[in-house]
Amino acid sequence: MPKGGKPLSVGILGFDGLNALDFTGPLETLAVAGVDETKQDSSHYYDVKIIGVTGKSFISDSGIVFRAQETLSNLLTLDTLVIPGGSGMRQRSTTRTIENWLTARAADIRRIVCVCRGIYPVAESGLLNGRKVTTHWKFAQDVSRRFTKLRLDHTCSFVKDGPFYTCGGGTAAIEMTLALIEEDYGSRLALSIARELVMRLRPPAGPENSLALDLSQFECGPMDRLADLPAWIGAHLSENLSVEALADRTCLCPRHFSRVFRTTFHATPAAFVEQIRLDEARRLLLVPRNRVENVSRAVGFNNADSFRRAFRRSYGVSPTEYQKYSRNRVSNTTREQSPRRVLQRALFR
């Protein structure tokens, strides 16, 4: 039941360029906890308000338009403040507005929550100096460089240090919000909401309790790195497609790349690339006025002679013979399907 019988007031900041998932993750999680359905009077656990940083309307990175109920300029009391991330945090005017507001009002707020890049204005205010924090691994190096007084551990899903919560964004923001609910109302309610959202309930990584996030789960395996290679080869036929170049593209050593490639595609890299080049050459040879030499260069052969040899080896005819035969066949088919031919067949069937 809400402390003191009143719902806790939570403000979630909104600004142009916010990340919609950073914003809606905590918002929807708190909404699930919004009403105690076991009580006939429907006691609210949280009173959640969207707080506009500069105005009541704002748009996310993904183009979703939101409307706030309040703005920072007229905000009164607040128990918890949630600051989402997003590209808008690159705008100095946005971070400065939040920073100035925090400098004046942070002492009146019980808890400040930073999601992903939402850490920037709080760090700039100096409120996080000396504290353990986390953020998304993509921004960890920049945060460490700019704010040297922070004790940053980017391997954590989320961290609590005093009245400050920080997290890496995405689903970590939902996990962190579940921890806030557990802190406020106990594990029973938090577990119930976690089951409804199909999420894990886990403790924050505090100063003495580091909960490492295994980032290896986000690394691509060798097979994954080769998945988009055929499409990339097809789009770069005139470039260097040697084993070394392809291995470098997939971040593998040439020897290991060749072994994995052969296992995946049942052909050597050289044979695979040559076949894609020849398949594209067949298509180009059907285009009127395309000369064999031009087609050879377009698909990445060093000279026309090597192209002719490879083409004959694969298809049993020379490029010129294929070109003539294919064009004659297309021409004959077109004549056979002309309106006059169709009419003649209908009349003399």
pLDDT by residue, tens only, the chain of 349 residues = 455 568 999 999 999 999 999 999 999 999 888 655 554 444 578 999 999 998 999 999 999 999 999 999 888 889 999 999 999 999 999 999 999 999 999 999 999 999 999 999 999 999 999 999 999 988 998 999 999 999 999 888 899 999 999 999 889 999 999 999 999 999 888 888 988 888 877 777 644 344 444 444 444 555 666 777 888 888 889 899 999 999 888 878 899 999 999 988 899 999 999 999 999 999 898 887 889 999 999 999 989 999 999 999 999 999 998 888 776 665 555 444 444 443 344 433 4
Residue range(s) occupied by CATH 3.40.50.880 in the chain = 3-217
Q: What is the CATH number of domain 222-336?
A: 1.10.10.60
The Cα 160–Cα 203 span in angstroms is 9
pTM above 0.85, yes or no: no
Residue range(s) occupied by CATH 1.10.10.60 in the chain = 222-336
Helix ranges (H only) for the chain are 20-32, 92-105, 119-125, 137-146, 171-185, 187-197, 222-226, 229-235, 243-249, 254-265, 269-285, 292-298, 304-315, 319-336, 339-347
CATH tag for 3-217 (out of 3.40.50.880, 1.10.10.10, 2.60.40.1120, 3.40.50.2300): 3.40.50.880
